Amino acid sequence: MKRHALAIDGPAGAGKSTVAKMLAERLGYVYIDTGAMYRAATYKALKLRIDLNDPDGFGFLADTDMTFVDSILYLDGENVGQSIRSAAVTTSVSIVASHIQVRNQLVAIQQEIARNADVVMDGRDIGTVVLPDADLKIYMTATVEERARRRHEENLANGRDSDLLKIQKDIERRDRIDSTRIYNPLKQAEDAVYLDTSHLDIKAVADTIYVMFTKITSGDIVKGENHNG
């Protein structure tokens, strides 16, 4: 049976995860937060006191289990949904994600999941590397200021300390690292639909993508056709 896949890429704080979760629930698909997987790898490396700048130190990933249950990531059986959102992980995740050894290991897991289930997957390189044959690819972004505001409000809503200016600087730094790294950098796939969500309601964004995706998977629109406007 042919599996369907929706790929959503974009920088930190663009609204990818929120929209992807909404779409996965609406479609009845498995939601895969690949950013959470890189955070989990970072979290475990910090616990093991691995030198994060040493790519050869991540051999432990070969014996690491990452499983999603109801959109929550379990690392070696532990619910790490909150732990991987710590400041220490946030500061270090882009360094870890820049290592090809780490990327190869996690991409293999992501592709295996997609071979066995219909998925909505979000991250930095889903449309370009992980799922190049996805039914629909979305590149979602927003201004740095808006992305920082959203992350700030998310932190406050979850009871975490939050400094808006620091968040904005961290996002700008992560953008530089993610878009300039040698391996699988953040970039828009050639056949991806570009969506700037700076001034858009997230639910409206999800509704728009849902209509495009269902038209493609039902055969009403040819894959790769221009959907803007």
> In this model, does residue 227 exceed pLDDT 50?
no
**Where is pLDDT greater, at 94 or 75?**
75
Share of the chain above pLDDT 70, in %: 96
> In this model, does residue 221 exceed pLDDT 80?
no
Mean pLDDT of 29-34: 94
Confidence of residue 2 (pLDDT cuts 50, 70, 90): confident
Question: Rounded distance, CA 45 to CA 49, Å?
Answer: 6
> In this model, does residue 43 exceed pLDDT 60?
yes
DSSP letter at 130 equals I
Question: Rounded distance, CA 67 to CA 61, Å?
Answer: 13
> In this model, does residue 3 exceed pLDDT 50?
yes
Q: Encoding tokens for residue 56? A: 């050869």
Question: Rounded distance, CA 226 to CA 32, Å?
Answer: 26
Q: What is the pLDDT of residues 168-193, one digit of tens each?
A: 999 999 899 889 988 889 999 999 99
Please give the CATH number for the structural domain made up of 5-217.
Answer: 3.40.50.300
pLDDT confidence of residue 225: 46
Q: What is the pLDDT of residues 78-126, one digit of tens each?
A: 999 999 999 899 899 989 999 999 999 999 999 999 999 999 999 999 9
> In this model, does residue 13 exceed pLDDT 50?
yes
**Where is pLDDT greater, at 27 or 223?**
27
> In this model, does residue 229 exceed pLDDT 50?
no
Confidence of residue 146 (pLDDT cuts 50, 70, 90): very high
Instruction: Give the chain's mean pLDDT.
Output: 92
CB 13 within 8 Å of CB 63: no
> In this model, does residue 226 exceed pLDDT 50?
no
Q: C-alpha distances in angstroms, 94 versus 27, 63, 206?
A: 30, 22, 27
Mean pLDDT of 34-60: 96
Radius of gyration of the chain (CA): 17
Q: Encoding tokens for residue 144? A: 């740095």
Question: Rounded distance, CA 13 to CA 144, Å?
Answer: 8
Confidence of residue 228 (pLDDT cuts 50, 70, 90): very low
Q: Phi, psi (5° rounding) for residue 114?
A: -65, -25
pLDDT confidence of residue 153: 92
